[in-house]
Amino acid sequence: MLYYLFQYLEAEYQVPGARLFEYISFRSAMAIILSLAISTIYGKRIISYLLAKQVGESVRDLGLRGQSEKAGTPTMGGLIIIFATLVPVLLFAKLENIYVILLIVTTLWMGAIGFIDDYIKTFKKDKEGLKGKFKVLGQIGLGIIVGGTLFFHPGVTVKEETNEPAPEKQELVDSFQNIREMGPEIKTTTTTIPFVKNNEFDYSSLISWIDPALKNYAWLIFIPIVIFIVTAVSNGANLTDGIDGLAAGSSAIIVLTLGIFAWVSGNIIFSDYLNIMYIPRSGEMTIFISAFAGALVGFLWYNTYPAQIFMGDTGSLTIGGIIAVLAVATRKELLIPVLCGIFLMENLSVVLQVAWFKITKRKYGEGRRIFLMSPLHHHYQKRGYHESKIVVRFWIIGIFLAIVTIITLKVR
């Protein structure tokens, strides 16, 4: 909203400084500052309110050290993250931008699913919360909305290079020798394959090899892939939210990395210099990402050990959904196994544990385990590691994976 206000002031009255709001970098900086302020200053008030309403965590006895002390800690802290993200976005982003709209819808959609789950656990005293099938249905619904929008919306396009130098950018040729004229915007389901030269892959090729005319029906392939990504990443974030600060810190690292991809992909100069896909209007996602990252870091103020509040499913499902949509929108979804390696490890540890238990139970008459407990962070707790040490080491791994992900911009 402030973006439109200052745009009007610049056009009508040439107010000094109003043009700053034209720059994504300025608006991103303002968004992250405001989101940090909201999450840290108003976060305390939200915690006090939740305590007054006795919205406390009901802790299951898993035999973990320090677990009993966490009983009664306020949950639904994801409300802090959602509020601290949306306010700066509404103030500083271009609200007609399709990518921003999708991210706002994702935040509210997944936030609502998580809130219902936390509400049932807290107020209905049902430790199971929202039934798993309803969570999955919600994730599938979001996947259909996101996949359908990205496939059919006319504003979701890319530009490809031609072989001619761009005459209007001739003055930049001395600095960037490889700048080429970009062709018209086109609709495509092309994505990026990491670590591969000429690394573009078109999902439509999975069906158009049968008959070129089937390319128009590529949505039959694309939308299920988006549904899978949304479901997998949101569940991965949900499983990672098990000890103080782990999910919020790991997610902040992932989101900031995606912010780099969104910024360079939406900038015609840097996308051309780095020889990556230029996605018009995608740079506006940087404002949302900045606000989201600020909200996560601000939430960590209260969520680090010993946590004063838990994010609950209100936060973890929202975080996973946003990360999934950002990855698909920037066409970097094939980097998710690397960038979201922490989520992947947590997911795999549960899948392997359950699968091995069932296999050995059928074979030997009793179930056996690979890990002392799953998800993976609980395994290390069982081995006697303090949860702060586990969290920091997972963050270090997350930073390493983020660096490897960023390196893919040039290493092909």
CB within 8 A of 80, min separation 6: which ones? Answer: 39, 42, 43, 46, 295, 298, 299, 302, 309, 315
What six digits make up the tokens of 154? 């006319």
CA dihedral 245, 246, 249, 253 (to 10 degrees): 180
235 assigned ligand-binding residue:
no
DSSP codes, 215-244: GGGTHHHHHHHHHHHHHHHHHHHHHHTTST
| Cα 160 to Cα 187: distance, rounded to the nearest angstrom | 11
| Cα 347 to Cα 342: distance, rounded to the nearest angstrom | 9
Three-state SS at 38: helix
What six digits make up the tokens of 146? 């996101």
Q: Give one word for 281, left, alpha or beta, with left for phi > 0 and alpha for psi -120 to 50.
A: left
Cα separation values, 98 from 48, 103, 183, 311, Å: 36, 9, 21, 28
Nearest in space to 113 (alpha carbons), one of 126, 128, 133, 130: 130
> Residue 112 carries which side chain, given as an amino acid letter?
A
DSSP label at residue 184: E
| Cα 412 to Cα 127: distance, rounded to the nearest angstrom | 48
Pairing of the two strands 182-186 and 190-192? unpaired
> Residue 229 carries which side chain, given as an amino acid letter?
I
| Cα 63 to Cα 261: distance, rounded to the nearest angstrom | 42
Radius of gyration of the chain (CA): 23
| Cα 232 to Cα 406: distance, rounded to the nearest angstrom | 22
238 assigned ligand-binding residue:
yes
CB within 8 A of 134, min separation 6: which ones? Answer: 113
Other CB atoms within a 10 A radius of the CB of residue 7 amount to 15
Q: Which residues are annotated as a binding site for Mg(2+)?
A: 238, 313
Q: Which residues are annotated as a binding site?
A: 238, 313
